[in-house]
Amino acid sequence: MKNILVILKKEYLTRIKNKSFIIMTFVGPILMVAFYAGAIYFATQGAEDNRTQTIYFSSKRDYVRPSESTFTFDKFLFIKTDQPRDTILASIKNETADAWLNIQDEDLRTLDSTELISNGALSLSQNSALEGFIKDEIRQKILQNQGINKATLDSAEVLGGINKLEVADSGNTESSATGIKSGVGFAMALIIYMFIFIYGSMVMRSAMEEKTNRIVEVIVSSVKPFELMMGKILGVALVGLTQFLAWIILSVALISGASTVLKIGANSIPAGMNTSTGMAPPAGLSAPSGGLELISQLNSLPYWEIGIIFILFFLGGYLLYSSIFAAIGSAVNQDTDVQQFMMPVSLPLVFGFIIAQSVVFQAPHGKLAKIFSMIPLTSPVVMAVRAPFGVPISEIIASFLLLALTFILMVWLSAKIYRIGILSYGKKPTWKDFVKWIRQS
């Protein structure tokens, strides 16, 4: 036990003192935010094609914009044409036009004989935009035929949205926080997922380094391999927790700093304006101010439960995976051999993360969610995603017990592999060797 502490201390201190750790602690969060902001920005903006698409338009019955020979919709320019089919196809081929929308149906209620012929450059979203547009036009035509004009139709549009409320523990209603819950759940799953990978591979690298540097033989003449492995795993876990703590303190400081700035900004608004907007929302309805709503939603989250689930499954998941990674690190002799073993081992984790993403947006308490939050290799990530939605305590206990049992079993097996692996040099190990080593010790 004392040896584990000595090793833990060394693993912890050498990492904490490392420059890259200090840099990562301060720059990491900024990089993360920038990365996600960038990804979201490009996903929403960058992918769009700004070029106007020229669409030839033919129709057996001229009911779409009968008075116009060309018209535009979104980024499409429609040109009505009655040229023969071959001519049109040729001009699509030589890219004079991008596509040809050819409505051949006599009956308004169907588009079965209608075709959209393109040079293959139309995207999925452009295709559905075109189809939606044409259906809208036809719907209007049908309504017109029944004597309903556009103005009547527009006046039938329902405005605004439903206020989504939840009954809180106090019995009062408050605005529903599904969005926030999804966000928090997803963030926790992401953190656990990344942490396991980053720090798990740190454990593996450390085991491998000691082996290839030949330090390990000296060390195991002083301590048991199990102590070395556990000291390493726990030391690295502590490094990760330290980094988290630093990040939390940093972001709290940043947020409180930012809100101080905001408050000063709010106070400088002329008093009259402030009261007039303050009076605006009718009594009984939730405040329309986005910030206020966000804060009240954040306050409604079951923090204790979320926090406990996060820590339990975060540690459980990390310990489970890092003990596997440690065994791999002890067995291989060089970097290039690592991949072969990492792939199958990390697959369940990646799978769990994919499940987590669908769980959070669809059914946090559905069958899929329940099953995968029980399986130990995926439960850390999937349970984290469910946590903000409130998971029954029995499920949490059952899932954690399973995780803990698997962790103990895995540490036991890994220690056996580790014990022999660290002293086995030469040929690249195989899965068969792993089994042999487990049996041997």
How many Cβ atoms are within 10 Å of 159's Cβ, its own excluded? 4
Stretch that binds other proteins, among 57-65, 209-217, 287-295, 409-417 (CB under 8 A): 209-217
Site for other proteins contains 213 (CB under 8 A): yes
Q: Which is nearer to other proteins, 23 or 168 (CB)?
A: 23
Site for other proteins contains 55 (CB under 8 A): no
Stretch that binds other proteins, among 57-65, 212-220, 275-283, 351-359 (CB under 8 A): 212-220
Q: How far apart are CA 379 and CA 407, in angstroms?
A: 12
Tell the smallest beta-carbon distance from residue 221 to other proteins (Å): 4
The position carrying tokens 């085991």 is 207
Site for other proteins contains 219 (CB under 8 A): yes
How many Cβ atoms are within 10 Å of 299's Cβ, its own excluded? 11
Site size with other proteins, rule: CB under 8 A: 20
Answer yes or no: are the C-beta atoms of 55 and 101 closer than 8 Å.
Answer: yes
Answer yes or no: are the C-beta atoms of 62 and 108 closer than 8 Å.
Answer: no
Q: Which is nearer to other proteins, 89 or 223 (CB)?
A: 223
Q: Which is nearer to other proteins, 219 or 404 (CB)?
A: 219
- Which string of x and - marks every residue 408-427 that binds other proteins (by CB under 8 A)? ---------------x-x--
Instruction: Kindly tell me which residue out of 69, 72, 222, 289 binds other proteins, with binding defined by CB under 8 A.
Output: 222
Tell the smallest beta-carbon distance from residue 247 to other proteins (Å): 25
Exposed/middle/buried for 395, CB within 10 Å: 0-12, 13-18, 19+?
middle
Exposed/middle/buried for 124, CB within 10 Å: 0-12, 13-18, 19+?
exposed
**Token duo for residue 352:** 């769990």
Q: Which is nearer to other proteins, 262 or 423 (CB)?
A: 423
Site for other proteins contains 220 (CB under 8 A): yes
On the CB side of 268, CA atoms within 13 Å amount to 6
Instruction: Kindly tell me which residue out of 224, 261, 307, 408 binds other proteins, with binding defined by CB under 8 A.
Output: 224
Residue type (1 letter), 286? S
How many Cβ atoms are within 10 Å of 133's Cβ, its own excluded? 17
Beta bridge partners of 173: 167
Q: How far apart are CA 407 and CA 403, in angstroms?
A: 6
Tell the smallest beta-carbon distance from residue 417 to other proteins (Å): 15
Instruction: Kindly tell me which residue out of 68, 74, 217, 335 binds other proteins, with binding defined by CB under 8 A.
Output: 217
The bridge status of strand 165-167 relative to strand 115-118 is unpaired
Site for other proteins contains 334 (CB under 8 A): no
**Token duo for residue 93:** 């081929």
Tell the smallest beta-carbon distance from residue 216 to other proteins (Å): 8
**Token duo for residue 387:** 């946590």
Tell the smallest beta-carbon distance from residue 429 to other proteins (Å): 13
Longest dimension (CA), the chain: 94
Site for other proteins contains 218 (CB under 8 A): yes
Exposed/middle/buried for 164, CB within 10 Å: 0-12, 13-18, 19+?
exposed
Q: Which is nearer to other proteins, 14 or 256 (CB)?
A: 14
Q: Which is nearer to other proteins, 9 or 60 (CB)?
A: 9
Site for other proteins contains 208 (CB under 8 A): no
Q: Which is nearer to other proteins, 166 or 217 (CB)?
A: 217
Site for other proteins contains 430 (CB under 8 A): no
Answer yes or no: are the C-beta atoms of 56 and 24 closer than 8 Å.
Answer: no
Instruction: Kindly tell me which residue out of 89, 223, 374, 413 binds other proteins, with binding defined by CB under 8 A.
Output: 223
User: CA angle, 393 as apex, 387 and 394 as ends, to 5°?
Assistant: 125
Tell the smallest beta-carbon distance from residue 211 to other proteins (Å): 9
- Which string of x and - marks every residue 1-40 that binds other proteins (by CB under 8 A)? -xx--xx--x---x--------------------------
Site for other proteins contains 286 (CB under 8 A): no
Exposed/middle/buried for 375, CB within 10 Å: 0-12, 13-18, 19+?
middle
Site for other proteins contains 49 (CB under 8 A): no
Answer yes or no: are the C-beta atoms of 386 and 367 closer than 8 Å.
Answer: no
- List residues binding other proteins (CB under 8 A): 2-3, 6-7, 10, 14, 213-215, 217-224, 423, 425, 436
